[in-house]
Chain A
Amino acid sequence: MAVLIELRDVRKGFGPVEVLKGVGLKIHAGKVSALVGDNGAGKSTLIKGLSGAQPYDSGDVLFEDHPVTLSSPQDASGLGIEVVYQDLALCENLDIVMNMFLGREETYHRMLNGAEMEKHAAATLQGLSVRTMKSVRQKVSSLSGGQRQTVAIARAVLQKAKVVILDEPTAALGVAQTAQVLALVRRLADQGVGVLIISHNLADVFQVSDYINVLYLGSMVAQLDAKATHYDDVIGYITGTKVAQGTVPEEVLA
C-alpha cells in the first residue's frame, strides 16, 4: 500500500504551550484515514501544518517517500495537497463551474473558455458519481449544504489533488446529505486519492474510514484499523481512559 504522506515526530508549539508533541501520521493512497480527538487535542494544528498555512516547528514530512518542506499553502498545493475547510469558501453568487475553476480558469484567446470548463467540471462531477445536481451552471446559492460540500470536494479533485484533507465535512449536514457526502469520500479514495478526514462524529468515521488516528493532548495515542476496532475503544483513546495498545495494522507499523 503506497504511503503518500508520512509525518515523523512533528512538533509545534505556541510560546510555552506544546500543541503537537512528536506526532506521526501516514496517509495512504486510495484509503480514507480519519483523524479524531477531543477539542484541543491538536487536530487543527496538525492540518494547518499539512496545508502549509502554519508550518511545523520540527519533524519530518515525507511525500511519496521524499522529504519535503511545507512552509506555505503554495508548497502544499504544488504537491497536490488540497484542504477542504469546514466553511467551504465558495462564492454563492457564482455557478458550480466557476467555483470549481476559480483562480485557475481556462482561457482561449484571453477570454474565459466556458465550454471547456463546463465540460471538465461535468466530467469531474460524473467521475465522482454525483447525480444530485440539475445543472453545472446552477448558482451555488441554490445548492443544499451537501451539494456545496460536493462542489468543494470536486474542486479539489479537479485541481488534480493527490491528497484531500476534509475538515468536518458532515458537521452541518442532515442524515441523507451526510450519507451522500460519505459515499463521495469513499469514491474519492477509490480513485486513488489519499483522504484524511477530520470528524467528531464517530459513526461517520467508522462508516467511511480504513484507518483511525487518535490524537490525545498533542500525542498520537492510537493508529487503528477501523475494521478491527470497536467503537468504545476509540472513545477510550479520545477521552484518555484507554492507553495505547490498540490493534495497530502492520502497514502502519512498518
Chain B
Amino acid sequence: MTADMDKSSNPGTNTAAATIAAASPHIIATGHEGTVGDQVRASIQRIRGGEMGMLPALAGLVVLGVILAVLSPFFLTKGNIANLMTQTAALMMLSIALTFVIILTEIDLSAGITGGVGMAVFIKLVNDKGWNWVAAFAVALLVGALIGTFIGYFVAKIGIPSFVVTLGLFLGFQGLMLVLLGDAGAYAVQTPAVAAIMNKSMPGWAGWLMVIVIVAVSLLTGLYDRGRRLASAMPVRPLSLLVARVGALAVGGILVVILLNKNRSLGVLRIEGVPIVVPIALTILWLGQLMLDRTRFGLHIYAVGGNPEAARRAGISVVRVRMVAFVLCSLLAVVSGLFTISQTGVVQSSTGRDIVLQGVGAAVVGGVSLFGGRGRLVQAAVGALLISMITNGLGLLGYSAGFTFLVTGGVLIIAASIDALSRRRVGSTSAART
C-alpha cells in the first residue's frame, strides 16, 4: 500500500510502463528470436494451428504438376509453360482484384464484366475516335474507378449486400456492353502494343534484368527491414533465413528465364523470351502486396475484414476502407480486361462475362478466406495458376470442357472446405495456448 501511495502521488503520468520496460530486456518474444531451427519449428506450429496460408494450394500445384507431367508429354514443354503463363495472366489479375474485397467479406460479381465495359470504352476510343491507346486506357481505368465508387457507395453507404449490388451490375453491364458495341458486336484489337502484351516476349537480356531486379528488391527490402529492427534494438531473425529465401527466389527465377529464353516455336519463326505480361503482372502484384502489408490503409483493410466494429471503435473509417477496396478491385478488373483482349484480339459483348467465378474460385483455392480478414495477393495468384493448370492440363489430355468445369468446381469446394476447417481449428486451439 505504501508503494501504492508513492506512485499515486504522481497522478496522470503513465510512464511507469516505459521505465520498467527500459530496465529489463525483452521478456515477451516477438517471433523473431532464436535460431533457424526455432523459426522452422515456430512456423510448423503455426501451420498445425490452422494458419495454412497458401500451403494447400502450393501442394496442389506440385501434385497436379507431377500428375499432368506423367500423363501428358506436352505438359512440361517450354511452349506449354509459356502458354500457361499467358493463359493465367488475366485470371490472375482478376483474382488479385477480387482479393481486396474478399478480405472485407464482400464479393464483386461484376468484376469481370467491369473489365469488359472498360475495354468496350477503350476500343471505341481507339478504333472509332483514333485515340492513342495509352490515353484510351487511362479513360478505361477512370471508368473502372467510377464503377468501383458506385458499388462502394451502395454497399458501404446505403448498406446493400455487395452480392446483390454486383449481381445487378453483372446483368446490367451485359446490356451496357450490347449498347456500347452496337450492331457490329465485335471490335478487333488493332493496336500492336496492346496485342504485344500477351503475344510478344521480351528480349533475352530483359528477362535476366527482370530476375536481377526481383532478387535485388527482395534482398534490399529484407535487409532494410532488418536494419530498421536493429535500429530499434529489436531481435532479428537469422540472416541465413533471408539469404535462403532470396536464394530460392533467385534459383526459381533463373530456371524460368533459362527455359523461356530458349526457342519454343515448333515452326520456322523463333519464339523466345519472357512474355511481356509477366513483369507487368509481377509489378502490380508487388505494389498491391506492399500496400496491404506495409501501409496503414492496408492494415485497415485487414482490420475491417476481421472485425468491422473493432475497426470503427479504433477510429477507422469503415465506409472509406470499403469504398476504396471496391475501387481497387474495379481498377484491376480493367487491367485484367486489357490482358483478356490482348490475348483474344477482340472486344465483344461477352468479354469478361464468364471469368469472374473462376476469379473468385482462384482466390479461394489460393487460400484467401471467404470469412474475411485473411489472404494475400500472392495466394490469389497461386490459386489462379492452379485453376489454369487444371484447364490447360485436362485440355492437353483430351478431356472435354464439361469435365474441366466439373473438376474446377470440385477443387473450389475442396478449397472452401479447407478454409472453413482451418478456421475452426484456429478457434479450437485458442484454449490450448494459454
The answer to the question of A192 belonging to the interface, with a C-beta cut-off of 8 Å to chain B, is yes
Q: Which of A14-22, A89-97, A236-244 contacts B (4 or more CB under 8 A)?
A: A89-97
Residue from A107, A111, A146, A157 having most chain B Cβ neighbours under 10 A: A111
Stretch from A41-49, A115-123, A214-222, A245-253 that touches the partner: A115-123
- State whether A102 touches B303 (Cβ < 8 A): yes
Interface membership of B311, Cβ < 8 A: yes
Contacts A89-B307, A91-B306, A115-B231; A126 near B17 (Cβ below 8 A): yes
- Closest B residue by C-beta to A130: B28
Task: Tell yes or no: A134 within 8 A of B by CB.
Answer: yes
Residue on B nearest A98 in the bound complex, by CB:
B299
Q: Are B28 and A144 in contact (CB under 8 A)?
A: no
When C-beta atoms are compared, the residue in chain A nearest to B374 turns out to be A93
Which B residues between 116 and 171 are near A, CB-CB below 8 angstroms? Answer: none
Which residues in B have their C-beta under 8 angstroms from that of A8?
A: none
Task: State whether B28 touches A125 (Cβ < 8 A).
Answer: yes
B14 adjacent to chain A (CB < 8 Å): yes
Which residues 144-168 of A have a CB within 8 angstroms of B? 144, 146-147, 157, 160-162
**Which residues of B are found within 8 Å of A87, using beta-carbon distances?**
309
Contact assessment for B12 and A131 in the assembled complex, using a CB-CB cutoff below 8 Å: no
Whether the pair B14, A161 counts as a contact (CB closer than 8 A) is: yes
Number of A-B contacts (CB under 8 A): 187
Q: What residues on B are CB-neighbors of A126 within 8 Å? A: 17, 20-21, 24, 26-28
Q: Is the CB of B12 within 8 A of A102?
A: no
CA distance A89 to B24 in the complex (A): 30
Contact yes or no, A136 B426, CB < 8 A: no
- Could you tell me the distance between the alpha carbons of A133 and B22 in the complex, rounded to whole angstroms? 19
| Given known contacts A98-B299, A162-B14, A115 and B8 CB-to-CB distance under 8 angstroms | no
Which residue of the partner chain, among A29, A91, A105, A143, contacts B11 with CB atoms under 8 Å?
A: A29
In the complex, what distance in Å separates the CA atom of A122 from the CA atom of B235?
A: 12
Chain B residue at minimal CB-CB distance from A125: B28
Given contacts A4-B12, A123-B22, A193-B14, contact A112 B299 (CB under 8 A): yes
Please give me the residue from chain A that is nearest to B434 by CB atom.
A144
Task: List A contacts of B29 (CB < 8 A).
Answer: 134-136
- CB-defined interface of B293-307 with A at 8 Å, one 1/0 digit per residue? 011100100110111
Judge if A190 is at the interface, Cβ distance under 8 Å.
Answer: yes
Chain B residues near A28 (CB-CB < 8 A): 8
- Within the complex, the shortest CB–CB distance from A76 to chain B, in Å, comes to 12
Measured as residues with beta carbon below 8 angstroms from the partner, the interface class of chain A is: 35 or more
Q: Which of B8, B18, B295, B374 contacts A112 (CB 8 A)?
A: B295
Stretch at the interface among B60-68, B239-247, B313-321: B313-321
- B434 interface neighbour in A123, A124, A147, Cβ under 8 Å: A147
Distance, CA A130 to CA B434, complexed state (A): 12
Chain B, residue nearest A159 (CB) = B14
- Cβ B7 vs Cβ A30 within 8 A: yes
Whether A192 and B433, one on each chain, are in contact in the complex, defined by CB atoms closer than 8 angstroms, is: no
Bound: A1/B266 CA distance, A:
90
**Complex contacts, A114 vs chain B, CB 8 Å:** 225, 228-229
Q: Mark each residue of chain B from 205 to 228: 1 if its CB lies under 8 Å from any CB of chain A, else 0.
A: 000000000000000000001001
Inter-subunit contact A190/B7 (CB<8 Å): yes
For the complex formed, measure the closest distance between the CB of B38 and the CB atoms of chain A, giving whole angstroms: 12
Give per-residue flags for A187-216: 1 if the beta carbon is below 8 A from chain B beta carbons, else 0: 001111110000000000000000000000
Whether A124 lies near B21 (C-beta < 8 A) is yes
In the bound complex, residues from chain A placing their C-beta under 8 Å from that of B400 are none
What 1/0 mask marks residues of chain B from 372 to 397 whose CB sits below 8 Å from any chain A CB? 11100000000000000000000000
A143 B310 Cβ-Cβ under 8 A: no
Complex: A136 Cα to B28 Cα, angstroms: 7
Q: Give the chain A neighbours of B27 by CB distance below 8 A.
A: 122, 126, 131
**Assuming the A-B contacts A111-B294, A157-B17, are A141 and B8 also in contact, with contact meaning beta carbons closer than 8 angstroms in the complex?**
no
Known: A94-B302, A105-B299, A141-B430. A112 touches B294 (CB 8 A): yes
A172 within 8 A of partner (CB): no
B10, B17, B372, B434: the one contacting A132 at CB < 8 Å is: B434
The reply to whether B229 and A115 form a contact with Cβ atoms under 8 Å apart is yes
Enumerate chain A residues within 8 angstroms of B19, measured Cβ to Cβ: 127
The distance in angstroms between the C-alpha atoms of A110 and B10, with both chains bound, is 36
Quote the shortest CB–CB distance from A188 to chain B (angstroms).
10
Instruction: Name A50-105 residues within 8 Å CB distance of B.
Output: 64, 80, 87-94, 98-99, 102-105
B433 touches A142 (CB 8 A): yes
From A99, A108, A136, A192, give the contact of B8 (CB < 8 A): A192
Say yes or no: B430 contacts A91, CB within 8 Å.
Answer: no
20 pairs of residues in contact across A and B, judged by CB atoms under 8 Å = A91-B310, A92-B307, A93-B302, A94-B299, A94-B303, A102-B299, A115-B225, A115-B229, A116-B232, A122-B28, A124-B17, A127-B20, A131-B27, A135-B28, A136-B28, A136-B30, A139-B426, A157-B17, A190-B3, A191-B16
User: What 9 A-B pairs are tightest by C-beta distance, nearest first?
Assistant: A127-B17, A30-B8, A29-B11, A103-B314, A123-B21, A93-B373, A93-B306, A91-B306, A89-B310
Beyond contacts A105-B299, A162-B12, A192-B11: 18 other A-B pairs, Cβ-Cβ < 8 A, are A89-B309, A89-B310, A89-B313, A91-B373, A92-B373, A93-B302, A108-B228, A113-B228, A116-B232, A118-B232, A118-B234, A128-B17, A134-B433, A137-B30, A137-B31, A137-B32, A144-B430, A194-B11
